[in-house]
Amino acid sequence: MPHKKARHPDQAHRLLRSAGLKARKGLGQNFLIDNSIRDAILDAAVLSSADTVIEIGPGFGMLTGELVKRVGRVIAVELDNALAGRIRQKLKNAANLEVISSDILNLDLAGVLKGEKNYKVVANIPYYITSPILHLFLHAAVRPSLMVIMLQKEVALAVTSPPGKLNFLSVSMRIFSRPEIICNVPAVSFYPVPAVDSAVVKFNMLERPAVEADNLDKFLEFVHCGFSAQRKKLRNSLALGLKINPEVSGKILLKAGIDAMRRPGTLSPQEWYHLYRVKEGNV
């Protein structure tokens, strides 16, 4: 299949200027201009006419224009009112499109979904709110069935890292999903060109969390404590996070059968859950 030519940065600049717009650095706006990356995102989302898709940060509408052709309903959430208005005008004949001018972090997801229990998320998100956005959907009353999200490459490598190199975010994501990198995205695929490379990550959401904690928020708070000093030994990192003496954390680890000299990034979600249960006195 021939490579689909990317839009030249000058074209993107002219497009913004003709609409009286400019990229807003404060909103982390870097617009995707590479058609091949757009198509990789669409393919990864495995779309059908039965799907409802929430798109975050549609920007020019590069993805939006294709989504409305392929799915039953598109909910495009754009913080920039001017861009939201431009998409409404550009795709005014798309009856299956709803453009919402809002901060995704303040959006009433249940209200927007209107009872829909099965939806997907497609997003080229501002990188400075990556963790809050992932947290939002992981802890939603109804989680998406699949997410395809553009992430800073460093973050993408972290959330898909193998055991031994996990961090708090990657452990959290593995509790709810099976993440995989779809493709790497060079900085020149965007306008304006960002300072970092990116990657498209597909989160295959699990039907049930990988651990059956009664209180997932409390469990994740414990894991977060365990990563308080992730370069240190687990005994010290856990003590720092829980604000307890290292001797106490050492006893908890001993009871759990986990080597206190291991580092936090070597524990699997299941090991964290076992340690949590021991600490709570449930084992």
Residue 2 is predicted with a pLDDT of 39
For residues 42-48, average pLDDT: 97
> Which class in CATH covers the domain with range 216-279?
mainly alpha
| DSSP states along 223-281 | HHHHTTTTTS-HHHHHHHHHT--HHHHHHHHHHHT--TTS-GGG--HHHHHHHHHHHTT
* Residue 38 contacts residue 150 (beta carbons within 8 Å): no
Which segments of the chain belong to CATH 1.10.8.100? 216-279
Q: What is the DSSP letter of 79?
A: S
Q: Could you tell me where in the chain the CATH 3.40.50.150 domains are found?
A: 9-205
Note the pLDDT tens digit of each residue in 200-234: 999 999 999 999 888 998 999 999 999 999 889 99
Q: What are phi and psi of 60, to 5 degrees?
A: -70, -20
Q: For residue range 88-103, what is the model confidence (pLDDT) as tens digits?
A: 999 999 999 999 999 9
- Residue 192: asked if its preceding bond is cis (omega within 30°), the reply is yes
Structure tokens at 236: 């010290």
What pLDDT is stored for residue 202 in this prediction?
Answer: 98
pTM score of the predicted model? 0.86
pLDDT digits (tens, 9 = 90+) for 106-124: 999 999 999 898 999 998 8
CATH node for 9-205? 3.40.50.150
Report the C-alpha gap between 30 and 80 in whole angstroms.
13
Higher pLDDT, 282 or 136: 136
| Position 194 confidence tier, pLDDT thresholds 50, 70, 90 | confident
